[in-house]
Chains A and B, each alone.
Chain A
Amino acid sequence: MHRRGVGAGAIAKKKLAEAKYKERGTVMAEDQLAQMSKQLEMFKTHLEEFASKHKQEIRKSSEFRVQFQDMCATIGVDPLASGKGFWSEMLGVGDFYYELGVQIIEVCLALKHRNGGLITLDELHQRVLKGRGKFAQDVSQDDLIRAIKKLKSLGNGFSIIPMGGGYLVQSVPAELNMDHTVVLQIAEKNGYVTVSEIKSSLKWDAERTKQVLEHLLKEGLAWIDKQAPEEPQYWLPALFSDLYSQDVTPEEADASLP
């Protein structure tokens, strides 16, 4: 049923009104962009001032960095999103974390042949500090965690797994579900775990236990010791402490194997 008053003229008028509205709308957005541009310049000045007074603080104090990051997160800003961001350019936060990212990748790559791509945050921390040398800025575990979170964008399976006493860092895209994680937690105590231990503390059946342990073996995260006195022991190199481990290069390892 046609409504009265609707004709070519009315349609044309409506179109004109719409066009004018859009135009005004565009102008409004442009205005706001111009405003944002101005405010951005002002903000940049404030940031420069802040940087001139406190840039050192960020470099030296890991606590300050934590505060800084938390505040940014609260207001919805990611200071590490881009090296081209103001935060990175003026405060130098970017370079600090991006370089840390490189060091983390290198440590993980170097040890992958041994621990399958799984390492405790403590060990990662130690090795990164060693690699940085005596005169480099101090790096806290919080710094590492933030750098790792950024590395996730590179798609190579970086993730952080909470464990009883700390964290595990995974640097390969192996799938680890809750079952695997809980077995890792049991293994934390001695660096290894046995089938009976799993069965008694988790009350799992043989099939489930077998699946989980086999997966860890396949992914290279666990090694099996079939010569252990009572039953095979599944060792996790990622959890080895100073007591058990010794640094061996891949070449040395290959040479010593039959």
Chain B
Amino acid sequence: MDRFVWASGLLEINETLVIQQRGVRLYDGDDKTKFDLGTVLLSTHRLLWRDHKKHDCCIALPLSQIIFFEEQAAGIGKSAKIVVHLQPVTPNKEPGPYQSSKYSYIKLSFKEHGQIEFYRRLSEELSQKRWERISVSQPMQSPSRSQAGKVKAVGIVGIERKLEEKRKETDKNISEAFEDLSQLMKKAKEMVDLSKLIANKIKDKQGDISEDETIRFKSYLLSMGIANPVTRETHGSGTHYHMQLAKQLMEMLQVPVEEQGGMMALTEVYCLTNRARGMELLSPEDLVNACKMFEALNLPMRLRIFDSGVMVVQLQSHSEDEMIASAVETVSEKGFVSSEEYAKLVGISVLLAKERLLLAEKVGHLCRDDSVESLRFYPNLFLTQD
């Protein structure tokens, strides 16, 4: 931290601001400094930090003093950081916040994120070294390596050079990739616009477009990832793909769902299916859309959405009345149960246990006792006794 000098926070003529980021704390090596919360600014020539509250508290450091820097990933309760390794302090440096420091590196802690972009821009500036080419109105501190520092610096220079080369290479690849990406997106946009045109036509002529054409259109939308603007619910968002998927799912899920008592939460189905597939995984939406087709395909499974929003697949053989009756029986035997207890008794997940009990309550066969300790269900004596 002793490489920093007090600064006015104003940019010099010909010095350009590259990026700034709020919510940054400075560390002297591993130690927190009193520069607790401020904005870090990167210019073509310097790295500055300004306090959020006290705007006249501003410090700066020339970019030429940076040897290299690296990311330090975030941890639990710890923000992501950038560690900046600096050259030794120059003898004729202007006054700054620290007279001396036992560390040769500082850390920028990004409490409000933004480290990724900042890192990228810092790389760019350090590889371009614009401060060498663009002179500013006030002479910048160009650190001349002292004799003592030179010996230490040699090894570091080699590392620095390698890192820079790697960065340049990566940067070049990334910029080319971004360029190609922009071109690709332009073409994708054309597809989106065309699909909107067609969708409008279909909407205008409700009932005149053939089923086949609608299905074809939907599959085009699916390929491109364009949301279906036409809300005709003949097949839901079904396409041939989803119909096939529904049949596959039926085969795969029949046994596991039966073992679970005839019902399985969709999140579990998602994990089960994708773990089994290994690759060419299903998206969550694929799964939901396929499940919606069970009924249309006359498969013995249904997608069901509870009041709470929980979604499950349920085997048709599974009668609702049976479920409720057995739940009431179990509860009556035990006197009362909580969702957790019921889950253990029946061997299903707590989530589904709760839904079953809620169902029974909905039709009036069970009563609840809701306390801080737990939610319990009792047989509804108001109904059976008088």
Seen from chain A, the residues whose Cβ lies within 8 Å of a Cβ on chain B are 22, 25-26, 28-30, 32-33, 35-37, 39-40, 42-44, 46-47, 50, 53-54, 57, 61-64, 66-68, 71-72, 74-89, 94-95, 98-99, 101-102, 105-106, 120, 122-123, 125-126, 140-141, 150-157, 165, 172-173, 214, 217-218, 241-242
Contact = CB atoms under 8 A, between A and B. Distances in A.
Contact of A153 (B197, B222, B224, B284): B284
Contacts, number: 219
A24 B315 CA distance: 47
B31 interface: no
Q: List 8 tightest A-B contacts by C-beta distance, closest first.
A: A155-B311, A98-B281, A153-B284, A241-B77, A75-B189, A154-B266, A78-B225, A81-B225
Given A32-B198, A85-B224, A155-B266, A102 B184 contact: no
A63 B374 CA distance: 45
Given A75-B185, A153-B285, A155-B288, 16 more contacts: A29-B198, A29-B202, A32-B197, A39-B191, A53-B180, A63-B116, A71-B182, A75-B189, A78-B226, A81-B227, A83-B283, A99-B281, A102-B275, A155-B266, A156-B266, A173-B310
18 contacts: A25-B205, A39-B194, A50-B184, A57-B173, A71-B182, A77-B192, A82-B225, A82-B283, A83-B280, A102-B275, A102-B281, A122-B74, A154-B284, A154-B287, A154-B311, A155-B266, A157-B308, A218-B374
Given A68-B181, A77-B226, A173-B310, A61 B198 contact: no
Interface of B: 74-79, 111, 116-117, 120, 173-174, 176-178, 180-182, 184-185, 187-192, 194-195, 197-198, 201-202, 205, 208-209, 213, 216-217, 220, 222-227, 241, 265-267, 270-271, 274-275, 279-288, 305, 308-311, 351, 370, 372, 374-375
Nearest to A85: B225
A146 B279 CA distance: 19
Contacts of A74: 185
Contacts of B285: 81-82, 150, 153
A244 B7 CA distance: 42
